[in-house]
Amino acid sequence: MSNILFVGSECDPFVKTGGLADVMSALPKALAQQGDLDVRVILPRYTCIPEQYRNNMTYVTHFYMDFTRDCEMYYVGLVEYWWNGVRFYFIDNEYFFGRGNPYTDMAGDIVPFIFFSKAVLASMCAIGFHPDIIHCHDWQAALVPVYLHTVYEGNPFYNGTKTVLTIHNLHFQGIANIDTVKYHSNIPEYAFSPDRLEFNGDANIMKGGIVYSNFVTTVSNSYAQEIRTPEYGEALDGVLNDYSYKLGGIVNGVDYDAYNPGTDWYIYDRYGIDNFPDAKRWNKEKLQGELGLQQDVNKFMIGIISRLTDQKGLDLVNTAMNRIIDDHTQVVIIGTGDPFYENSFRYYENYHRGRVCSNIMYSNERAHKLYAAADAILVPSRFEPCGLTQLIAMRYGTVPIVRETGGLKDTVQAYNGFEHTGTGFSFYEYNAEVMLDVINFAKKIFFEDRFGWESIARRGMESDFSWYRSAGDYRNIYNWLMSQW
């Protein structure tokens, strides 16, 4: 039996702001189902975690841990909760995690996550759980391998422990004043050299994690290659090239229990691969009525489920929106983000009344309904480490239209009408006119070759992007690391 510890800042259903929470929930579950792994997860115990979970957590232990260069003693509480067959631990300290949100801003987040990283290692010692692999996620957990190989170097409890760092989005790195990080972490001075934590005069926590981890993964093969270039490397491309021998990409999966059109109680009519065309038309008509759109199943409905930010390519959508919309096309948006885009999509809803619906919010229920109702999902991201939207869409027989970058490139095979292959439509150049041409090509197939369109959707539904496959790839990395002395 091998022991695996996942460390991260969010996890569905306890706290979720993005795709990281889905990974922290679904991947441990998929690994635990293999039977011979003891998989556990550790998170901060934020006060924003719903009471239904907070009130049912079980006390494990508490202790005081030295923190900061002055060796001040801080309370560390540890509670647990079982979910989907996995044991979840939560670090309890209201001074650091008693805020209403898991994140505030970089200046306010640095010290709490320094504390969290050190408390993770101290807590495992306190309860006697020796992890063979500590799998850390994003910068908020990236100090764990740094602590392990500096402050905890030589501690017999961690003999043989190996670390994996997964980069979900390299844009966020945990960059802070170097004296602040030195003081609060009390990590030895030598670790702040230019080849380790130092970064343009500051401290870069993600960089430290890359240097000190035994293996680094990203959430798609293409993104693993892209971040080694100046265009996508966020100024860490040099570091990632130096450590390319321990860098790999594994595409995220989708929880096929949570996203299953055959059992999804959010949608109007459940369906499978044998009856999806008629069921999707029924779901479309009902959602059109709910959203105040013209009820006509022959309309081409495009869904956008996204954070409303530049990264997601919404400047392209904004530029082309009035030409995407016509008498035969509807667009439904779900998401929040940059006020500029929120207001832009509100404007389009008012201007194209009955053809555009802008849901400036996040609703899990409505997102499920849109996956089931839409004919196509549009994901034109400027960069996309993995992306789950296109994977969920294919699960529901909704055809993705994506830009060829990161995980979008790895997971969506472009339609080829001559060979009758492909699971969606794609474009490479980051340009609104190119995107519009591809959307119009997709419309042409939808209206003029319905059998061909349904074949594209069927191939998407037949694709396997479950966590079972991705969990096997992670397991191979764990086994290889554990075989190294």
Length of the chain: 485
Q: Taking 80 as the threshold, does the pLDDT of residue 63 lie above it?
A: yes
> Left, alpha or beta for 201 (phi > 0: left; psi -120 to 50: alpha)?
left
> Which residues neighbour 71 within 8 Å (Cβ) at sequence distance 6 or greater?
186
For residue 102, is the peptide bond before it cis, meaning its omega torsion is within 30 degrees of 0? no
CATH, range 2-253+468-483:
3.40.50.2000
Q: Is the pTM of this model over 0.85?
A: yes
Q: What is the per-residue pLDDT for 34?
A: 86
Structural tokens at position 267? 């949608």
What mean pLDDT is reported for the chain?
Answer: 96
At the second CATH level, the architecture of 276-464 is 3-Layer(aba) Sandwich (3.40)
Q: What is the per-residue pLDDT for 35?
A: 81
- Decide: helix, strand or coil at residue 385: coil
Q: What residue has token string 């199943």?
A: 297
Residue 245 DSSP symbol? G
Task: Kindly report, as residue ranges, where domains of CATH 3.40.50.2000 are found in the chain.
Answer: 2-253+468-483, 276-464
Q: Taking 90 as the threshold, does the pLDDT of residue 170 lie above it?
A: yes
Per-residue pLDDT of 20-46, as tens digits, reads: 998 999 999 999 998 899 999 999 999
Q: Distance between CA 453 and CA 447 in Å, rounded? A: 9
Per-residue pLDDT of 65-112, as tens digits, reads: 999 999 999 999 999 999 999 999 999 999 999 988 889 888 899 999
Query: Contact at 8 Å (CB) between 110 and 103?
Result: no
Per-residue pLDDT of 226-273, as tens digits, reads: 999 999 999 999 999 999 999 999 999 998 988 999 999 999 999 999
Q: Taking 90 as the threshold, does the pLDDT of residue 52 lie above it?
A: yes
The DSSP string of 255-268 is -TTTS-TTT-TTSS
